[in-house]
Amino acid sequence: MMKLKSLLPLLIAIVGLFCLPLFIHNPYYIHLAETILIYTILLFGLDIVVGYIGQVSLGHAALFGIGSYTAGVLYFHFGWTIWGTIPASIIVTAFFGGILALPALKVIGPYLAMVTLAFGTIAQILINEMTWLTEGPLGIKIPKPELMGVPMTKAEYFWLVSAILIISMIIVDRFVKSQIGRAFEALRDSPIACDCMGVSVYRFKVIAFVISAGFAGLAGCLYAYSEQYISPNTYNNELAVLFLLGIIMGGRKSRLGAVIGAAIIVLLPKLLDDIYLFRIVASIIAIVVVAGAAMALSKQLTTPRRVAIPLAGVVGLAAFSFWLNSISDWRLSIFGFMILLVVYYLQNGIVGFTKSFYQSMVGKAKTTRGEDAEVVDDSISFISAVGKQNTGAELLKVDSLLMQFGGLKALNNVDLSVKRGTIHGLIGPNGSGKSTMMNVLTGIYVPTAGTVLYAGESVVGKTSSDIALSGIARTFQNVQLFGEMTAIQNILVGLHHTFKSNMIEIALHLPRYKKEEAEAHARALALLKFVGLDDLANEEARNLPYGKQRLLEIARALALDPELLLLDEPAAGLTAPDIKELLRIIRKIRDSGITFILIEHHMDVVMSVCDTVSVLDFGQKIAEGKPAEVQANEKVIHAYLGT
């Protein structure tokens, strides 16, 4: 039943797309609709970079161009047909996407935006200059593809594009809902936690760019056949900005948003060619926004101050349209103006805005719970039993570890030996180097000198994600959850290592992927239940109360099947009942054979669960032993009380 309901819009879309050329015979309108579909495919891809990994890409116009030119060049020089150029465009562009991602590995935010801008500029220059390959500014003419020896009609090509669009939509949807999509969102929300969950940020950034570029290439290829002529000027930086506008305005992380965005950026220039139509539309928008604001004000959902600027903006735009005689010269200004409005007042796009506006008007909060009020299967062994066979053997050995930041020795010749199956406390005043130790153990810092042996192997120089996969999981002092993801999705990121299925299996929903997904889901629920969060499974992590967030972090770390679990101040900020619950959880985990290193300031917690305690002060280990011994140690008392 549920399934049918969600499939219905898709069916309507398919029928609609099929019927469109049958009822509209004007080739101009068919071409316009076709362009929207092609841009939609590109926006699906762009959304992966913008919406899912949260980066700004100004290089997608260039990728789009690379797709077009791959098709154009292969046709022009080698006479390839569309059945060869489509896969070639996807592969070539995906390859360039990978190249674009390489510098992107090390940089984020504004740097990445500039890198992509530079990439776009280089690509445009090269397409223009490499005349032996691309015919340069002259461009390339491409006829419509042939079907069984006969050139396709306008309608037939439209159907082909529609079919590819539907397939793309299904594939993108499946990708972003799989472990790959979760990895994308995880690296956006907290790259460090993502690495520490065994999900390599580097790797998945590149994958995101490659997939995204693949779709851009596909769209570019289809565009070449649609326009039947390509030239370098089409693929400029303004087109890249236009694509970004499309995806933000339509709505990120939404297939419908991509369709709306594509429709806007295709129709808008046409609209701006016709001043009379533009006046009408600008007036309607002004009226709608004014009415919406009035409604929101009357329900006291917003303040006059907040609506003043967007109101002035849209009313001003309408007035501007009546003052002008011709709009086409001012097209870019209006684009710029729309970007400004969208960036500040429509951050979640039309789709996101409509959703939240509808909810606030109806006065009904989104009921994410209950939807899958699944029964937790108690028989699942959600904590992998490490076994107690080797209890007492050395699991982690740190030898004369030195971590230097400039002149500061945050860790100075520290030795540490952690025995299997024990809870090893690490205490010390603030700034004594405890968290630095955690960061060295999990590969976030590379130590200046010294060795760290985990289960007999050195972890120094290994990446955080490799260390995580080898069995060291951690939580963070300042909680590092994947905020925009739900509680259960957070755990599923931790379970990423249980997935073996590849992209093809995901795209086709082959049995192995479905089985893995179902198993991971069941185990994630069991883990949530273990920390008492099963009824909050579908709540976004950022909306959880602080104490619950800490518990969720522990559950997420457990999903990694660790042998060694590092907890960095798990009790900080918890209430007394929460701490009791935490102690119960820690003991339960220890009973399954997992080893702990516990950083904590709550002495009662440390004293009640730890088997051994090491004390750090100014980067040096000043004491070690049983909790009671340490508590009585002169040096420790001195370090804490400073007398």
Partner 1 sequence: MDMFAQILSSGIAVGMIYAVIAFGFQLTFATSGTLNFGQGEALMLGALVGLTCVDTFGMNYWVMIPVVCLFGMIQGSFVELIGVRPAIKIKSEFGWIMSTIALGIIFKNVAENVWGRDALPFPSPLPMEPMNFLGANILPMEILVVFGALAMMLLVEFFNRKTIYGKAVVATANDRDAAGLMGINTSMVITFSYALSSLTAAFAGVLIAPLTLTGATMGGALGLKAFAVAIIGGLSSGMGIIVGGLILGIVETATGFYISTGYKDVPGLILLLLVLAYKPSGLFGKSAIKKV
Which residues does residue 454 pair with via DSSP β-bridges, in sequence order?
A: 396, 457
3-state secondary structure 500-566: CCCHHHHHHCCHHHHHHHHHHHHHHHHHHHHCCCHHHCCCEHHHCCHHHHHHHHHHHHHCCCCCEEE
**Which strands form 620-625's sheet, in the order they lie side by side?**
472-474, 564-568, 595-599, 423-427, 612-617, 620-625
Which residues does 169 contact at the CB level (< 8 Å), separation at least 6? Answer: 44, 255
Q: How far is the CB of 196 from partner 1 (least distance, A)?
A: 9
* Three-class DSSP category at 483: coil
Contact in structure between 262 and 40 (CB atoms under 8 Å): yes
The nearer residue to partner 1, 127 or 401, going by C-beta atoms, is: 127
User: 75-83 long-range contacts, Cβ below 8 Å, gap at least 24?
Assistant: 75/140, 75/142, 76/135, 76/140, 76/142, 77/133, 81/145, 81/146, 82/145, 82/146, 82/221, 82/225
- The whole-angstrom separation of Cα 236 and Cα 136 is 14
- The whole-angstrom separation of Cα 273 and Cα 137 is 25
- The whole-angstrom separation of Cα 210 and Cα 173 is 16
Q: How far is the CB of 113 from partner 1 (least distance, A)?
A: 5
Torsion of Cα atoms, 59 then 161 then 182 then 251, to 10°: 70
The nearer residue to partner 1, 413 or 477, going by C-beta atoms, is: 477
Q: 331-345 vs 304-323: helix axis angle to the nearest 10?
A: 170
Contact in structure between 96 and 61 (CB atoms under 8 Å): no
Q: How far is CA 449 from the centre of its chain?
A: 35
Q: How far is the CB of 557 from partner 1 (least distance, A)?
A: 15
The nearer residue to partner 1, 49 or 533, going by C-beta atoms, is: 49
Q: How far is the CB of 467 from partner 1 (least distance, A)?
A: 14
The amino acid at residue 1 is: M
The nearer residue to partner 1, 78 or 344, going by C-beta atoms, is: 344
The nearer residue to partner 1, 479 or 528, going by C-beta atoms, is: 479
Which residues does residue 412 pair with via DSSP β-bridges, in sequence order?
A: 402
The nearer residue to partner 1, 117 or 555, going by C-beta atoms, is: 117
Q: How far is the CB of 342 from partner 1 (least distance, A)?
A: 8
The nearer residue to partner 1, 340 or 628, going by C-beta atoms, is: 340
The nearer residue to partner 1, 313 or 428, going by C-beta atoms, is: 313
- The whole-angstrom separation of Cα 80 and Cα 635 is 79
- The whole-angstrom separation of Cα 579 and Cα 255 is 43
The nearer residue to partner 1, 341 or 455, going by C-beta atoms, is: 341
Q: Kindly state the DSSP code that residue 541 receives in the 8-state scheme.
A: G
Q: How far is the CB of 592 from partner 1 (least distance, A)?
A: 27
Q: How far is the CB of 334 from partner 1 (least distance, A)?
A: 9
* Three-class DSSP category at 414: strand
Q: How far is the CB of 14 from partner 1 (least distance, A)?
A: 34
Q: How far is the CB of 333 from partner 1 (least distance, A)?
A: 4
Residues of the shown chain interacting with partner 1 in the complex, contacts defined by CB under 8 A:
54, 56, 58, 102-103, 105-107, 109-111, 113-115, 117-119, 121-122, 125-126, 128-129, 192, 237-238, 241, 244, 248, 329-333, 335-337, 339-340, 343-344, 347, 405, 435, 438-439, 444, 476-478, 480
Q: How far is the CB of 56 from partner 1 (least distance, A)?
A: 5
Q: How far is the CB of 609 from partner 1 (least distance, A)?
A: 24
Q: 349-362 vs 237-250: helix axis angle to the nearest 10?
A: 20
- The pair of three-digit structure tokens given for residue 148, joined into one six-digit string: 């069984």
The nearer residue to partner 1, 178 or 190, going by C-beta atoms, is: 190
The nearer residue to partner 1, 127 or 630, going by C-beta atoms, is: 127
